[in-house]
Structure 1
């Protein structure tokens, strides 16, 4: 038996040594590829430039006083930030003396939220590695580390565990196709064991974690995005230029985060029904080339940035193209019905909750399977998926828009409360007793 145990221990050690070697190779290829692409790709260049001399910059900008406490929150990109934001702002409100560091992996998050006022410092997360993780945590000295939804970095998590730093995952969601749940996935599973607590969105995720013997530190508390959209709705402010655009005798389709596949369908439908409908469209990409394409699709349109509250709306204008970011969550409120884009892409739809919170029926493309809230909202008849123009045509004129909107809004209200559950954990564990 003793010989067998030694052999088993050797096999496990050999496995992890092999996976560490593979992980080093992965890091070399992955991070190296991004830096290589930075020569011609703007997004990759931002990723690389934002990490240059990170240690020196962090040492200059982040000073911890004796007895001071801090929270480090990491988000992959903008969507994860919106999930983590309610928790971040609640922590800051209840513990105003606690310092907050916010990191992003992707330029899509950092470049848009680098001026966010709710954190003491915002930066790119340095590349994962033993030296970087140690140096980063030596400077930051977090009392609490928060990872939002996903992005699991081996060396950061291992170093946090080594220091006994409270580390939580919020709004986590797991699928059985992920490496954690495969027979060969021990290395990845080990990352999950580094967390102090995992707050997951649904029971299915909790069952998957239990299947790999992670259950005593798991709580099902839902998605913090519900809390975020409710907060946005509560503090909604009118947009004067849009209000001047709306005709009382016409309905309004608000289409948000659209891709070209969405826009082609919407254009075909809108050209047929513009006598009775107006359109407000906010594309996922707002670069000049794409805005010009939309202007060709919708000839009687005006750009949002060209509107002035003190000027009359251009004659015959029946479409506003939103050509800047940061407005969409307000604009859904004006819709008679809302279309959320991305459902014809591989990655799937964007945030349907931002529309549903205003009691609006939601239409999307067919790819919603990765998005729990969309799947569940569809079951309530508050959200509808389409795969073709004919389905869009039939749907808009068949459903009771007001009733469907009420069902969508009720779904959002029912699923709020994740932020409060996480804050209860933080308070029970007395993570900021000196804050």
Structure 2
């Protein structure tokens, strides 16, 4: 199975080269990695001079998981040299540069020869991937050099097809340790791997990142003074399918006392202009966060066209819709759960164990129709209070996962 994968990646290389000439986005993808390769080659480091731990994140959410673990290392082992890699271009350069690691770069494409110089130069003790990520050639290169390989905050959806299932089994077996985020994940990994891997549930380190981010906030986020609406419905990380479902509710008579605060997933000028056009079509009073005095706002709809506010704005909300799951996959549900809000989401939550757990506990509602949304927004105060306690309790149970993962990593003798 792995031989087939390695052969296919080798055969893919000429096509990558060709397409990178023709496709601008792929050209930038390859160029960035070539620049990183030169930077790594010129980086001054003496092999064996320090203990090295390599953390890898597929995208933004996994980078939060890595950040919590990196902060534990910084506290307990400040001398340890940390490498942080990411793969997705959705991770901004500024986020990567601000990460608490000694060396940060974008992971090369997974060819058999991609990692040789990195392992030779830095000789890491451990390679830690997050959530569901697994790069066969990267894991094989690590194993060849007897580097501890760990999948932390691990999640899995067991495939049904025989070929895919066997491939998953082969690749996940390359990890020395698999540390699921939840018990349900542990059961799925054991179903797939049996006794072929060390599996131990330690939690999701993203809980620590979320808690730390909120609790270290510079100031408390409050509703505008004398705000004329008694309830606030936050629409978080929205895409067009989200808005097509939810914005028609702006003219719903039963929600005349409910304000809508919209946080689109992207805030580039074109996206904001499209949303403004849509809002004008509903003849609703709205304001842009960046162009208004929020402290004295009176608009039923506030469109947040800046980043960095959402995690704290949940504090001022009554309900929260979390976008992405109507067409792709749900975004971060932990931040609003920390504040105990009843959550609404589309149906595509199977890759987010925390969303599934919140749904099972009765604090997250899967909605696909206008009627389902209205039903949730009509919950009794008693039910909302119970959800507040349950959702907040769920987040608190995840506190300390990063430290538990750290202790498990360091439990292996050097």
Given that 1:265 and 1:389 are in contact with CA atoms closer than 8 Å, whether structure 2 keeps it comes out as yes
Given that 1:99 and 1:119 are in contact with CA atoms closer than 8 Å, whether structure 2 keeps it comes out as yes
User: What is the distance in 2 between the residues matched to 1:107 and 1:298?
Assistant: 30
User: What is the distance in 2 between the residues matched to 1:76 and 1:223?
Assistant: 15
Alignment partner of 1:363 is 2:349: no
Q: Please identify, of 283-292 and 112-121, the stretch whose mean Cα deviation from structure 2 is larger.
A: 112-121
Write the mapping of 1:44-193 to structure 2, written as runs, cut at 5 A. Answer: 44-64=26-46, 66-111=48-93, 113-177=95-159, 182-183=162-163, 186=166, 188-193=168-173
Runs of 4+ in structure 1 over 6 Å off: none
Q: In the alignment, which residue of structure 1 is the partner of 2:181? A: 201
Q: In the alignment, which residue of structure 2 is the partner of 1:424? A: 407
Given that 1:356 and 1:412 are in contact with CA atoms closer than 8 Å, whether structure 2 keeps it comes out as yes
User: What is the distance in 2 between the residues matched to 1:215 and 1:418?
Assistant: 24
TM-score normalised to the size of structure 1?
A: 0.84
CA apart distance, 1:62:
5.0
1:317-368 CA distance string (max 9 Å, x none): 23222223332212211111111111211x2211111110111111112222
- Classify 1:16/1:371 alpha carbon distance in 2 versus 1 (closer, same or farther; 3 Å): closer
User: What is the distance in 2 between the residues matched to 1:59 and 1:19?
Assistant: 27
User: What is the distance in 1 between the residues matched to 2:258 and 2:372?
Assistant: 18
SS in 2 for 1:139: helix
Alignment partner of 1:263 is 2:243: yes
- Classify 1:185/1:266 alpha carbon distance in 2 versus 1 (closer, same or farther; 3 Å): closer
CA apart distance, 1:277:
1.9
1:90-147 CA distance string (max 9 Å, x none): 1111111112121111110143512214122221111222322101222232222111
TM-score normalised to the size of structure 2?
A: 0.88
CA apart distance, 1:160:
0.8
CA apart distance, 1:157:
1.0
Q: In the alignment, which residue of structure 2 is the partner of 1:22? A: 8
> What do you get for the CA RMSD once the two structures are aligned?
2.7
Structure 1 unaligned blocks of 5 or more: 1-14
- Out of 224, 231, 234, which is 1:244 matched to? 224
1:244-273 CA distance string (max 9 Å, x none): 367275211111111112112321112335
CA apart distance, 1:294:
1.6
Q: Please identify, of 382-391 and 65-74, the stretch whose mean Cα deviation from structure 2 is larger.
A: 65-74
Alignment partner of 1:338 is 2:323: no
1:348-395 CA distance string (max 9 Å, x none): 211111110111111112222332221221122211121111211222
- Classify 1:348/1:140 alpha carbon distance in 2 versus 1 (closer, same or farther; 3 Å): same
- Classify 1:82/1:184 alpha carbon distance in 2 versus 1 (closer, same or farther; 3 Å): closer
- Classify 1:386/1:415 alpha carbon distance in 2 versus 1 (closer, same or farther; 3 Å): same
SS in 2 for 1:101: strand
SS in 2 for 1:429: coil
Alignment partner of 1:403 is 2:383: no
Given that 2:139 and 2:174 are in contact with CA atoms closer than 8 Å, whether structure 1 keeps it comes out as yes
Alignment: residue pair count: 406
Given that 2:231 and 2:258 are in contact with CA atoms closer than 8 Å, whether structure 1 keeps it comes out as yes
